[in-house]
Amino acid sequence: MKHTLTPQRYLILLAVMLTASVGDTLLSHGMAQVGPVSLAHLGLLLAALRNLWVITGILCLLGFFASYLTALSWADLTFVLPSTAFGYVVVAFLAKYWQHETITVYRWVGILLIVCGVGFVANGPSLTLHEPQHPADGPAPVDQGATTGGTQ
């Protein structure tokens, strides 16, 4: 049996990807406004908590953790991590068009490699189902990847 995801679960993966990348970008934008924090001026970190961008960034990252845990409850770690790595690409585009950073050729190649990596897992099974310890429990549904143990 191929273990496929429902549209709702694809939305959770999208939430993992977007909340992490948008959260990081919002934090970066906020901290740029707050200024450099050093060990001698740790009080600035408290000031950062009053910055609207930082607050929104933290809320986004809380959303990331909740959706990440939800995804891990029904999908393999080795499925969730590459699928949500597309967030790095989102960060690169946000950096280019919002923060006006320069994207070098190396970065474009990096983006291309990540897109390829995501493509490798996108159509594969999301969860490894293990056979039961006791035969009396009945036959276990085994996902396509676990059955073949190779590429599809």
Partner 1 sequence: MIYASHIHAGPIETWSTILTVAATAVAGDVLTAGAMRRIGDLDRIRAKSGLGGAIRVVTSSPMFLLGVLSMAASFFSLLFTLSNVDLSLAAPASASLTFLGNAFAAKIFLKENVNRRRWMAALFVCAGVFLLSK
Cβ-based nearer residue to partner 1, 60 or 121 = 121
Quick count: other Cβ atoms within 10 Å of Cβ 54?
A: 21
Quick count: other Cβ atoms within 10 Å of Cβ 98?
A: 10
CB of 51 to partner 1, least distance (A): 20
* Position among 58, 61, 85, 90 found at the interface with partner 1 (CB under 8 A): 85
Q: How far is the C-alpha of 71 from the C-alpha of 49, rounded, in Å?
A: 29
CB 64 within 8 A of CB 71: no
Give burial (CB, 10 Å; 0-12/13-18/19+) of 112: exposed
Residue 58 makes contact with partner 1 by CB under 8 A: no
Cβ-based nearer residue to partner 1, 52 or 75 = 75
Q: Which of 33, 125, 16, 121 is nearest to 72 (CA)?
A: 16
Q: Which of these segments, 25-33, 42-50, 51-59, 125-133, binds partner 1 (CB under 8 A)?
A: 125-133
Binding site for partner 1 (CB under 8 A): 8, 69-70, 72-74, 76-82, 85, 88, 92, 104, 106-107, 109-114, 116-118, 120-121, 124-125, 128, 130, 143, 145-146, 148-152
